[in-house]
Structure 1
Amino acid sequence: MKKHGVMLFTFVILFLTLGFDLAYGQEQKENEKVTVTLDFSEKGAFGLKNNTSQSVLTDITFKVQDLSVSLTGYTCHYIGTNKYLRLDYDANYPGQLQISVPKPIVIDSITMRTTKKGIFIKYNNKFLSATEKKPIVESINSNNITLTESKKTGESLSSYITSITLTYTRPKLDATLDEKAFDAESTIKGIVGENKTLALNRTFNPSQLYTMCLPFDLSKDMITEIFGNETKVFLYDGYQNGELSFSTVKEGVLNAGMPFLMRSEYYVEQPTFAGVTVESTTAQTVGGGEWDLCGTFGSYELAADGTQLFLTAGGTLAKPLAESRKMRGFRCYLKKAAGTVNGSAQLPSVTIDGETNAIKTAEYAAPTSATTAYSLSGMKLNAGCKTANGGIMIIDGKKFITTNR
C-alpha cells in the first residue's frame, strides 16, 4: 500500500510538472519579439517641434506601437547638419527620456546611436553604462527605462541621440488591421472572439480630428491609456437645419462597429489594443435625418455625386472628385439618407458640442507619384504627397483635401 502511495504521489508530481511545462511552453509560443526604432533624425518625428540649437523646457508624450515615450526637462530636437534629439543637463530640469511598455510586456534590450558620448541608461536608479560614438546594447528585462544626461566633471553636459532601437516581448498579435486593406472584413471574420491582441496600422497626430470605426468595443479607459487623458471622442447626433451635430462621449463604452470622431492628445503610431473582444464583422450606420454616418472597415470608394462626404482633420466637409474617390479603412463618412434629395453645392455645417466649424471650399484629390503638390505654407511635398497625411494641399494653384482621416 505504501509503495502504491509513493507511486501515486510521484505520478501526481510528474503530471503537475509536465502540465506546468506544457502550459509554460504554450505561453511562450503565444509571445513574440518585437523591434521598434525611434528615429529622431526625421523632421517632425513623433510630432516634435523642430527648433534651433537652443534647448527648451519640454513635457511631451508620444506612443509608437506598445511604447509610451515621455520627453521632459531641457531638450532640443534639432534638424540641421547633424540631426538629433539632445538631452541637456540642468539641476532642476534635467533632460530625460522615459520609455515604458504595459505589463506583461518586457523590454529586453536597447541600442542607441549618438553623435557624442555622455548618454546613460538608468535602470532601478542605477547607471548601467555610458555610450561612446557607437551603439550600446544592454539587457534591461523591465517594463520601463530612463535615459538621462550624465553629470561628469570636464565632460559636455549634453547627450545627442539620433535613434533608439528597442526589442521587447509581447503577446503575439492575432492580426494587424491595415487601413489600406480592401479585404479587412475577411481579416476580421477570422479573429472573432475574446481576448484578442490587435494592432491598427494608422498614425494619429495630436489635436487633429479623425474619423474612426473599429470591430471591437472600446472603453474610455483604453482610449485614454493609448491616446492620452485629454483625448476627445464624439458621436453623431444627427442632421437638422443645415447642421451635422456631434457631441462628446464622456462615459461608457463605444460599441464594436460604431462610427465616431476622435481627437487624440498624443502622437500615436500603430497603436496596439490588447485583451479586446472582436464582435462586429460589419460596420454600423447611424441615422440622423437627411444624412447618415456610415462606418467602414475596409478601403471604400466614395460616390462623386455629392451624396457622400468625408470629414477633414479640421472638422470640415468635402466631396470627392469623380476620378479620385478612395478612402482608407477603419473610418467613417456621411451619406445622404435614402429618399432624400441629392447633395447640393452648399455643404452642411458641422457642430461639435454646439460649436460650429467653418466650412472650407475644397475638393478631394488622391495624390500620385506624378503629382506635384505644396502645403499651405508653400513647402513642396514629396512623391505621392505622403507628407500631406490627409490634410489640405495646393495643386496647380487650387486647394485639395485627401480622405486619409
Structure 2
Amino acid sequence: MEEKKYSITIAGGGSTFTPGICLLLLEHMDRFPIRKIQFYDNFKERQETIAKACEIYLKENAPEVEFGYTTDPETAFTDVDFVMCHIRVGLYAMREKDEKIPLKYGVVGQETCGPGGLAYGMRSIGGVIEILDYMEKYSPNAWMLNYSNPAAIVAEATRRLRPDSKILNICDMPIDLEEKMASMIGLSSRKELDVGYYGLNHFGWWHSIKDQNGNDLMPEIKKHVAANGFADALSKTNQHVEQSWIETFSKAKDVYALDPDTIPNTYLKYYLYPDYVVEHSDPNHTRANEVMEHREKNIFTICQNIIDKGTAKDGGFEPDAHAEYIVDLACALATNTKEKFLLIVPNEGAVENFDRTAMVEIPCYVGINGYERVVQGAIPQFQKGLMEQQVSVEKLVVEAWIEGSYQKMWQAMTLSKIVPSAKVAKQILDEMIEANKDFWPELK
C-alpha cells in the first residue's frame, strides 16, 4: 500500500513563526510525509513576503512538496488533512495596546493575562471560529490544531459555539518548561518525563513528574526551582533569551514558594505577583515593542533577503523546536500513536472537584479518534480557588462576545485577579472598547 501523504494548511501564513513551523514539518517528513503545504492569511502583503521566501526554501529543499499561499478560503481549505492555526487578530499593533492601556491604570499589561488577554480574546474568538467553519465546509474530515492565543478563551468559545468540531486546542509553553526541567536533571528530552498536570491554559501546575521507569523526579526538580526558578536550564535550552524572559523564568521560584508541593507554570507570576510585574514594566516600551523591534524585524529582513537573492541557502531560516509538539500531535491523530499530550479540553470529571464544563489543560492520550483524558483526581483548595475565579473570567468573556454584553465584559474585567476594583475595570474596559472598535462585536 502506498504511504499516505498529508496536506497541511497553516492559517496565519504571515506570522513570523510560520517559516520555523514549515521547516520543522520538512525535518519530520520521514514520519509525517507531506504532499502539500498551503499558507492562508487575510493580510495579503504580509503573507506574501513570508510565503515567497518559504517557497524558495521548499523548491531548494523539498521540491516534491506542493506549495501555495492564498487569501481565498475555498482555495486554502479544500483538500486539507490538517489546519495548523496560529492567528493574531490585530497584529502586534493591537498587542501593544493590550499591554499599554492597563499599565496606565497601574494594572498588569500582558498578552494573555488580565485585561490585555481579555481584549485579545475578544478579537480572537471570531477569527478562530471563521477558520474552523471554513475547514469544516471545504474539508469536513480535517483536524484543526489551534494554538492561537489566548488559548483558554478561544477553547471556551469553541466548546460553546462549535462543540462537535474536530479541533484540538494546544499551547507550547508547558512544553518549553518541561524541556527546561528535563535539562535541569540531565535528561536529553521532555519525552523522557511522565507528567501529571492540571490547570487552565497559562494557569497550571505539575503535581507529578516521573521518569519512564516510574521513579519520582519531583524532589530533584523542586530543588532547582526553589533556588532559581527555571533559570538553571536557560544556558542549556536557549541560545538567546531576552531579559524579560530571564526575569520570568527566575521569578518562578517565588511562585513555587506559595505551594512547594507543585511546580507552577511561569504565567502565574502575573496573577500572584502583579505588583512586582507592574513595578518592573515600562509603560512606554512593552513586550510588544521588543517583539516588533527584534523578531518581527529580523524575520521579515531574512525573508526579503532570500527573495532578493533568489536562494534560501545560508538565508537564516531555523526550524521552530517547539513546533515538534505540533508534528507529534498530527502524527498521533494520523497514525494512532496514543502518545500523551497536554491539551485544553472539557473537564468532564478529569479534575474531579472542579467545574465539569471548564476547559482544563491536562494530559490526554491522542489517537485517530481524538483524545482520551487522563484523570488527575482532586486538586488542592489553593489551586481550586484560583482556577474557579479565572475560569469564571474566561466564561464571562465568551458570553460577552456571544451576547454583545457590556455588563458581562465589565464583570469579567472586575473578576480578574489582576484588576483591583470595578472602577478600574470599567476605566480599562471603556478605553479597550474604543481601541478595539474595528475588532470587537458591539457591546451594549
Report the TM-score when normalising by structure 2.
0.28
Report the TM-score when normalising by structure 1.
0.30
User: Larger radius of gyration, structure 1 or 2?
Assistant: 1
- Structure with greater helix percent: 2
